[in-house]
Chain A
C-alpha cells in the first residue's frame, strides 16, 4: 500500500525583496510505499526542503496534492512526524518529556506514555538520559532524541529534513548506521531529505533525484543494497559505488545545464558531499 502520494506539486512564492515570483517547485510527483525508505536528493537550493515542508503541512502548495494513507493533507498533523535539521527539541522539557510530547497530545495515560517513551529512548540508545535537558546532550544525541520523539508518536510517515547535516562526519556515520538498524527493526515509512549522495544511497530503498530549480523529478533510482546494511560492507559493495556514481553523474549533468539558475535556497548550505 502507498503511504504517501505526492501529485503534481507546484510551489510559487513572491520574493519579499524584489517582488518577483519564484517557482520553487515546478512539478513533482512520486509515492512512498508503506515501510519504505525514500530519499529526496538534489542540488542546494533546489527546493527539496520545500517539498518536505509541503508534505508536513508547514507550507501550502500553489497547486497539486499530498495525501497520506489515502487522505489529502493540509495542516500539520501527528500522522507526519518531522525530524528537523536543527533538532527543534523543547529546551524546557527533559529528554523523557520531549519523547512523550506527542503521546501526551493524544491523551495517552501517564504511565503508558512514559513506558513507551522509555522503550523508544532505549531503541535509539538514550536509556539513562531520561531526566537530562536537551542542552546537556551532544549534537548526535539530540538528533537521536529527535528521531525517538517522532517514532514514539507512530506516524504514518516520518519526515526527516537533513537531520545529520550539522553533525560531525564520524558521528554522522554512526547515526546513519543506527537509523538503518532502527528502520530494519521497525519498518517505519521514511521520507528523507538530504544533499549527501552517500547518505541517500546508504539509507534508502529508492532515491528521488530532483533537478535544479524549478525542481522536477529528474529520476527515481532504486538502490539494490542488501539489508542489514553497514558502512563497512557498503563502501566495498560495487552496487553501492555504482549507484553513487550514477547519481553523481545525474547531478553533474544537471548542474552544467542549469548553471546560475538560482542559488538562494533557504536552509540549504552548499556543502556538497563528503566521503566517497
Chain B
C-alpha cells in the first residue's frame, strides 16, 4: 500500500517517513543522493502548477511583442502587448471596461443560472424514464442541432434588443448539451452499483440520490463545462449582434472605428476571464468531487 515511487530527486518533502526506512535503506544508498542546487531549483519550479500553466505564455507574449515590433504588419492591423496594456489601463481609468465586464458577467450569470436550473432537472427526468427519453431524444438532437446563434434573430423579434434576448440565447445554448450529458452520465453509472444499493435496502428514491446522482457527476461536470463554453461564445456573438454594451460589443465597436488595440484587449480579457472561471470555479469543484473519489472524468473537449 505504501507508494513505492516517492519523490526521487527533490529531497524536499521526503522528511523521514519512519516506516519502511529499514527496508528502503539499502536502496537509499544508491538512489538518494542529494541533487545539485540548480537541478533542485529547476525541479521545484517545473513542478509548481502556476509555473506549468502560466510559464508557456511568457515566450508566446514575447513572440507576439517581437512580431509587433518587427513592423511586419501595419500598426492598424496588429499591435503589441505594450499597446494592449496601455489600452487596458486607459479603459480602466475611464471606467468603461469595468462597466462592460460587469454587464457581460451579469448576462452570463443569468444565462448559466437559468440554464442549470432548467437543464439539470430536465436532463435527469429524461434520463430516468426511458419512454420519455425515447420520445424526447430526436427533439433534443434537433434543437441541439439548431445552432444557438441562429435563435438570435427570432429572439430579437420577440424581445427586442434586450437582456432577455441575450439570456434566452445563453440558456438555450446551455440546456441541450447539459441534458445530453446528464443522460449519458446516468447511462454510465455501473449497473452493479445500483444493484449493490438495492440489495443493501435502498428504495428507488434513495438509489437516485445516493447512487445515480453522484455517479452521473463526472459526465455532468463535463456537460457544465461544455455548456459554459458554448454559452460564453453565444454571449459574445449576442453582444456583437444585439450590441449595446459588454465585452463583445466593445470589441466590435472598436473594430468599426478601427481601434485594433481595443479589439486585442477584448480578446485577452475574454481568454483570461474564461481561464479564471475555469481555475476558480470548475476545477476546484471537480477536484472536490470527481477526482477525490478517483472516478475518471469523461473526456473533455474544451478548457
Contact = CB atoms under 8 A, between A and B. Distances in A.
Interface stretch (A84-92, A219-227, A243-251, A257-265): A84-92
A183 interface: no
A90 B192 CA distance: 10
Contacts, number: 75
B199 to A, nearest CB: 4
Contacts of A78: 199-201
Interface string B260-303: 00000000000000000000000000000100111100000000
Contacts of B198: 57-58, 75-77
Interface in B165-189: none
Contacts of A81: 199-200
B32 interface: no
A223 B217 CA distance: 47
Most B-side CB within 10 Å, residue of A82, A89, A90: A90
Interface in B18-60: none
B205 to A, nearest CB: 11
A171 to B, nearest CB: 12
Interface in B189-203: 190, 192-193, 195-203
Contacts of A159: 199
Interface in A87-110: 88-92, 101-102, 105-106
B195 A149 contact: no
B293 A91 contact: yes
Contacts of A241: none
Instruction: Please tell me the size bucket of the interface on B.
Output: 20 to 34
B84 interface: no
A30 B59 CA distance: 74
Contact of A82 (B196, B202, B203): B196
Interface string B63-97: 00000000000000000000000000000000000
A76 B293 contact: no
A88 B289 contact: no
A135 interface: yes
Best-buried of A81, A86, A92, A102 by chain B (most CB within 10 Å): A92
B154 interface: no
A88 B200 contact: no
A58 B200 contact: no
A76 B207 CA distance: 12
A77 B199 contact: yes
A80 B294 CA distance: 28
B200 A133 contact: no
A88 B196 contact: yes
Nearest to A135: B294
Interface of B: 1, 190, 192-193, 195-203, 206, 210-211, 214-215, 217, 289, 292-295
Given A82-B195, A92-B293, 18 more contacts: A56-B199, A57-B198, A75-B198, A78-B199, A80-B199, A82-B196, A82-B199, A90-B193, A90-B210, A90-B211, A90-B214, A105-B201, A105-B203, A133-B292, A135-B294, A141-B1, A149-B200, A153-B201
29 contacts: A76-B199, A78-B199, A80-B199, A81-B200, A82-B195, A82-B199, A84-B195, A84-B196, A88-B190, A88-B192, A88-B193, A88-B195, A90-B197, A90-B210, A90-B211, A90-B214, A91-B294, A92-B293, A101-B202, A102-B200, A105-B200, A105-B206, A106-B201, A133-B292, A138-B1, A141-B1, A149-B200, A150-B200, A153-B201
Interface of A: 56-58, 75-78, 80-82, 84, 86, 88-92, 101-102, 105-106, 133-136, 138, 141, 149-150, 153, 159
List of 8 A-B pairs having minimum Cβ-Cβ separation, nearest first? A135-B294, A78-B201, A102-B200, A76-B198, A105-B201, A88-B192, A88-B196, A92-B214
